[in-house]
Amino acid sequence: MADQDEYDWQWQELKLQAKLASIDGNDFETVFQDIAKRLWKSAFTATIPMGRRGDLKCDGFKADSGDLFQCYGPRYGQVNVNEAIAKIDEDFEGAVQHWGPLLKKWIFVVGVYQDRVPSELLRRILQKSQEYSIPTEILTRDEIIEMAKRLPSEERAALFGKAPERTDVIRGTTYENIGRALAFIRGEISAGSIVPIELPSTVEKKIEFNILPQTSRYFLGLGQLGADQVRKYLADKVDPREAERMVDGFRNRYAALKLSGEEPAKIFQQLLIFAGGATGDVEREAAALAIVTYFFSACEIFEQPPEDLV
């Protein structure tokens, strides 16, 4: 059975994924710097531009290894290859000029869509590495997440909060919060204890059939506490045609994630984001969890086991 820290990390990872997917430029740089500083402590120094000389082509420096970090967070993770190549040339050569023998490795921290780095960028970085005889590395969103995972639990909680508990779900799954979360979906479409909550056998079998991890099962158990409120809300407060569109929206989002080759645990996380989770608002996150649990239990998302397994 997983412990509380593992449940917290699953929730924190979800929030960090959502943040990294939605920020760019200086905000992307700041998130990386915050994590790096907490991970490497005094060995890492985040830098800021000063005067005409700017930041000396350095967004962060790790003194014990001579690693120099340069961040690149394009809007929506969409790369303009020509602009990116020009940035690599300018930043790499500027770093060599300003830091000289102090520079032991140049690391390009990138926030690109699904961590898919264009081959032309990789080639240019390798060419610069060969030209100046300086090792290089590309650090992607997933690797930033891995850095965050290595933080002590109290550091992660300070940055990303903790997983919701039973009382959060019961208190947060109100009609008001369900409505707020479902409004988010409409826009997209147009107890402190960690003892597992008992789930219906059909839901248990569906979790097993879809190879969802223990942490997802735990969150579905929490969401079960508010799922009936979601059912009542859709019956009482939402126009039937709009409820059908919401169902279609969830089905389509699930199908797109599955088609992209995402693993079941990652699909579950992305559906929580789709439902308005990962906002930092505990009550809204509780409502999002209840919404995803409702659609999971109603067999609108994830694969239904064959009848002989049900």
Residue ranges covered by each domain of the chain: 4-158, 164-309
Task: Please report, as a single letter, which amino acid is at residue 195.
Answer: V
Fold for 4-158, please state it: Restriction Endonuclease (3.40.91)
pLDDT at 237: 67
pLDDT at 105: 97
pLDDT at 291: 84
Q: Are 276 and 212 in contact (CB under 8 A)?
A: no
Please state, in angstroms and rounded to a whole number, the distance separating the CA atoms of residues 306 and 310: 7
Distances (CA, A) of 150 to 18, 32, 147: 19, 14, 5
Give the 3-state secondary structure of residue 111: coil
pLDDT at 91: 95
Cβ neighbours for 195, distance < 8 A, ≥ 6 positions apart: none
Sites in the chain below the pLDDT cut of 50: 1, 186, 188-196
pLDDT at 1: 47
pLDDT at 195: 46
Q: In this structure, is the dihedral angle defined by the CA atoms of residues 20, 122, 88 and 118, taken in order, positive or negative?
A: negative
- Number of residues in the chain: 310
Count of other CB atoms within 10 angstroms of residue 49:
10
Six-digit token string for 162: 């903790």
Pairing type for strands 136-139 and 60-62 reads: unpaired
Largest CA distance in the chain: 71
Give the 3-state secondary structure of residue 296: helix
pLDDT at 295: 84
Alpha helices for the chain (secondary structure H):
4-22, 25-40, 81-99, 119-132, 141-149, 153-160, 166-172, 175-189, 201-209, 214-236, 240-259, 264-274, 282-297
| Predicted structure pTM score | 0.66
Please state, in angstroms and rounded to a whole number, the distance separating the CA atoms of residues 211 and 24: 33
**Residue 67 parent element (H or E):** strand 67-72
Return phi, psi of residue 17, to 5°.
-60, -45
Cβ neighbours for 117, distance < 8 A, ≥ 6 positions apart: 79, 110, 138, 140
pLDDT at 110: 95
Q: Are 17 and 273 in contact (CB under 8 A)?
A: yes
2 burial level (CB within 10 Å; 0-12, 13-18, 19+): middle
Nearest to 84 by CA among 105, 104, 97, 70: 70
Give the 3-state secondary structure of residue 259: helix
Pairing type for strands 44-46 and 60-62 reads: antiparallel
pLDDT at 194: 43
pLDDT at 30: 94
